[in-house]
């Protein structure tokens, strides 16, 4: 069973390692979804995670099992159309523990916590459009594709695309009901 905690600075390195091994490389292939075939490089760095932890308008939520960080999600408060929303990113579950419901659990915990603390109107995220299995997972959790896309960052020093034409697809969910098309 996962226990959820907001990360402290001492957790930044473990969180960055979890995110990087979940998204890319051979370790990521032990889970049900990976970016290993479409991207090389790191997903994040310890310094980026630490900077998020230091902010007043963001936090990293950790799922801990047996004193190990095995799941994480970044929660950033944003204002869109005059409403407070949360942008979720860096959602990661240790690859060998995927398919146990931990992804759903940490997203649900993040939704509950941000609704309570920030009184948000909804949640949103971007997903690489090539990752159909991941988009379908989020749709099962009530997220809907908004029809909006943005180009994948071409100038990132740590993200190295293996395929061309990558785009980011927006998904959103109201804090109680899925967004109607």
pLDDT at 84: 92
Q: Is this model's pTM higher than 0.85 or not? A: yes
Q: Which CATH class is domain 3-174?
A: alpha beta
- Per-residue b/e over 55-85, b at no fewer than 16 CB within 10 Å? eeebbbbbbbeeeebbbbbbbbbeeeeeebb
Q: How far is CA 122 from the centre of its chain?
A: 15
pLDDT at 179: 43
pLDDT at 82: 82
Distant-in-sequence, close-in-space partners of 157: CB < 8 Å, separation ≥ 6 = none
Residue 171's DSSP bridge partners are: 125, 145
| Pick from 87, 86, 92: nearest CA to 117 | 86
pLDDT tens-place values along the chain, 181 residues long: 899 999 999 999 999 999 999 999 899 999 999 999 999 999 999 999 999 999 999 999 999 999 999 999 999 999 988 889 999 999 999 999 999 999 999 999 999 999 999 999 999 999 999 999 999 999 999 999 999 999 998 788 888 899 999 999 999 998 753 444 4
pLDDT at 159: 82
pLDDT at 155: 80
Alpha-carbon Rg of the chain, whole angstroms? 15
| Pick from 52, 54, 172: nearest CA to 120 | 172
- Residue given tokens 């909804």 in the structure block: 122
pLDDT at 139: 98
pLDDT at 80: 83
């Amino acid at each position: 069973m996962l226990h959820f905690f907001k990360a402290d600075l001492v957790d930044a390195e473990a969180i960055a390692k979890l995110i990087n091994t979940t998204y890319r490389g051979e370790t990521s292939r032990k889970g049900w979804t990976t970016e290993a075939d479409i991207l090389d490089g790191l997903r994040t760095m310890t310094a980026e995670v630490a900077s998020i932890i230091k902010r007043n308008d963001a936090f990293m939520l950790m799922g801990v099992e047996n004193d190990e960080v095995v799941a994480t999600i970044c929660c950033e408060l944003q204002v869109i159309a005059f409403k407070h929303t949360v942008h979720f990113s860096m959602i990661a579950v240790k690859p060998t523990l995927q398919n146990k419901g931990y992804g759903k659990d940490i997203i649900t915990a993040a939704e509950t916590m941000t609704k309570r603390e920030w009184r948000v109107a909804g949640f949103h995220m971007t997903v690489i459009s090539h990752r159909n299995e991941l988009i379908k997972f989020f749709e099962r959790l009530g997220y809907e594709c908004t029809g909006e896309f943005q180009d994948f960052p071409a100038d990132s020093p740590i993200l190295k695309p293996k395929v061309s034409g990558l785009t980011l697809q927006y998904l959103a969910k109201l804090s109680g009901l899925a967004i109607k098309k």
